[in-house]
Amino acid sequence: MPKNDLMQQFGKYYSVAFLVPAAVLIGFVIGYFLDKLFGTGFLKIIFLFLGLASGMIELVRELSKDDGRK
């Protein structure tokens, strides 16, 4: 395996490690600010789960991509 190939694989999986936590955090922050705006207390939980779901979907998409190598 060439060194460039190894670095590309490392970069791909390294970015995947931050994908789900970032999506969850963004979802929570959006929900938090919407809770402050509307005076509610449940939107941060809903957006937390939406962020988790979107992070998992993106994780599956990223890992199932075909690199085009044969």
% of the chain with per-residue pLDDT over 90? 63
Residue 40 falls in which region: left (phi positive, over 0), alpha (psi -120 to 50) or beta: beta
Q: Answer whether residue 11 is part of any domain.
A: no
Mean pLDDT of 41-61: 96
Average pLDDT on 9-21 reads: 87
Q: What is the per-residue pLDDT across 18-49, written as a single tens digit (0 to 9) for each?
A: 999 999 999 999 999 999 999 999 999 999 99
How confident is the prediction for the chain on average, in pLDDT? 89
Residue 12 counted as domain residue = no
Q: Specify the number of domains making up the chain.
A: 1
pTM, entire model: 0.81
Beta-carbon contacts of 45 under 8 Å, excluding residues fewer than 6 positions away, are 31
Structural domain of 40: 19-64
